[in-house]
Structure 1
């Protein structure tokens, strides 16, 4: 299925959120909640793309059957007006291939494929893993480079080599090496997406196509405005948005684990996305109180204000 929002230089759209997965208090997936959240993110927070079953979606603790049903629920809710990217990565190449094929059958517009984690493969192993997943379907793939979680970076020479694959078209970068990313963008047609909200504006300044954000759950419209301002030449306006959201980014991204903070933040602005699933635990009262201060400082309207 063709992406409804992709362009040649931004194949998955520009403002994407790595969507949390709503769970009930007893740990079941709330599929109606999944659809409500997806519609909210697209229709009110101006996301033109969503990443489903990424790390923020608690993919390590959802089954393959749950991932398939979550993806289908999001596609049904917003797939006609937003690019839906399915998380299909794991540290097992065979399993990743099967996830990719299932995502294609479900109607995903693209794949997010994370670097294999924990087993720390060499660069040749990364190359073969990513190409095996890209070979498995006809979908465009975004590589996810996040060495702080996986233990292994995708090195510049490996990214340049992987860019030769016709379906490897983008990188979600949470490595934070703007110089290395600039080298890859100069040498290839890979579209880079900021995968770390702390450096969104910095990535735009070196040529990134857009964001795959977590803060986009509560400030997606602001981040979309930052992208628009920067791309239109209004750098000062983009900087204004960046500075105003500093406390929001700090609250969501630095106080506790991302999915925990995001669900607490959504609840504070009146968009309940349920609970987290063990081994994660819901935010504490102290964390929620700090988050409340952070959101208010960033100009967000809380549900009880």
Structure 2
């Protein structure tokens, strides 16, 4: 663990601060369907300097991890760490439905200097709660990196229960969870977790509500284009100006919803990659089996922006 992220002891608990606003970063491609390193560097600068991202999730779902090779992921981790140069935290998306492979990738990422790892609930295998606990415990025990769990039942089919999450929260280097199941689950975990274990909303549209019931922050997609406004909303909420925060949330809600349904459901990250291409960060291409937005969808996204 880097000195800047070394956990502080507060009443016997351990805390790692990744910030309130974290962006699940896209992976820009060029016309040869390869990673566009020049655009990636500019994107990292933009997300830090203009959109107020305190941490970047690299090679998560929004970064198209299912279609990136292991070599590409390691290259992305290395590039992001070096380019960010300490200006924000870099969290590597190293989770999968293969425990052994997740351990190996997490260990390789740690050697490259990442600040933490995001581990998704195993998809497709449909493990039991006991199986999910054993999976995350095995990875945590194989690394010193701080780990954030990622519960996204809409993609993984199975859902990590609040009870299993709280049991995992007792493991020293499992320091948080990105929760997409429900506000009820966010409420329960936030209300019963050990001191210092942080819950992050994994859904932009419920960020405001999640913070109201105890979430620490958000791991966001919309922060690619509205991060500065989202940071302002979160701060207003934390400072007790709930009416202003609510108005900001109401203003942003069409964007939050539209990036995932324009007007029909569009798989992430097709919409946000197109939006970022309009701002000069990559060409908007996604790798098959995803498709770029249609002409009608592009017009809808243009109107949102």
Residues 195-232 of structure 1 deviation map (CA, whole Å, 9 limit, x = unaligned): 01110101010111111000010001111111111111
- Residue matched to 2:134: 128
- Residue matched to 2:11: none
Pick closer, same or farther for the CA change 1:270–1:23 going to 2, 3 Å. closer
Note the C-alpha offset of 1:73. 1.0
Select the residue among 44, 47, 55 that pairs with 1:41: 47
Residue 69, structure 1, aligned to residue 75, structure 2 = yes
Residue 140, structure 1, aligned to residue 146, structure 2 = yes
Select the residue among 292, 298, 304 that pairs with 1:294: 304
Note the C-alpha offset of 1:2. 4.1
Tell me the distance in 2 between the aligned counterparts of 1:158 and 1:44.
37
Trace 1:89-238 onto structure 2 (pairs within 5 A). Answer: 89-175=95-181, 177-189=182-194, 190-238=197-245
Tell me the distance in 2 between the aligned counterparts of 1:164 and 1:250.
34
TM-score, with structure 2 as normaliser: 0.92
Residues 126-159 of structure 1 deviation map (CA, whole Å, 9 limit, x = unaligned): 0010011111111100000001100111112111
The CA RMSD measured in Å over matched residues stands at: 1.7
- SS of aligned partner of 2:260: helix
Q: Is the 8 A contact 2:189 2:199 kept in 1?
A: no
Tell me the distance in 2 between the aligned counterparts of 1:6 and 1:135.
17
Residues 88-108 of structure 1 deviation map (CA, whole Å, 9 limit, x = unaligned): 100000000011101101100
Tell me the distance in 1 between the aligned counterparts of 2:35 and 2:77.
12
Q: Is the 8 A contact 1:6 1:13 kept in 2?
A: no
Q: Is the 8 A contact 1:16 1:212 kept in 2?
A: yes
TM-score, with structure 1 as normaliser: 0.92
Tell me the distance in 1 between the aligned counterparts of 2:66 and 2:222.
21
- Residue matched to 2:63: 57
Tell me the distance in 2 between the aligned counterparts of 1:3 and 1:87.
20
Trace 1:237-256 onto structure 2 (pairs within 5 A). Answer: 237-255=244-262, 256=266
Could you tell me which runs of 5 or more consecutive residues in structure 2 were left unpaired when the two chains were aligned. 9-13
Tell me the distance in 2 between the aligned counterparts of 1:291 and 1:178.
27
Residue 261, structure 1, aligned to residue 271, structure 2 = yes
- SS of aligned partner of 1:27: coil
Could you tell me which runs of 5 or more consecutive residues in structure 1 were left unpaired when the two chains were aligned. 296-305
Tell me the distance in 1 between the aligned counterparts of 2:141 and 2:7.
21
- Residue matched to 1:280: 290
- SS of aligned partner of 1:170: strand
Pick closer, same or farther for the CA change 1:213–1:273 going to 2, 3 Å. farther
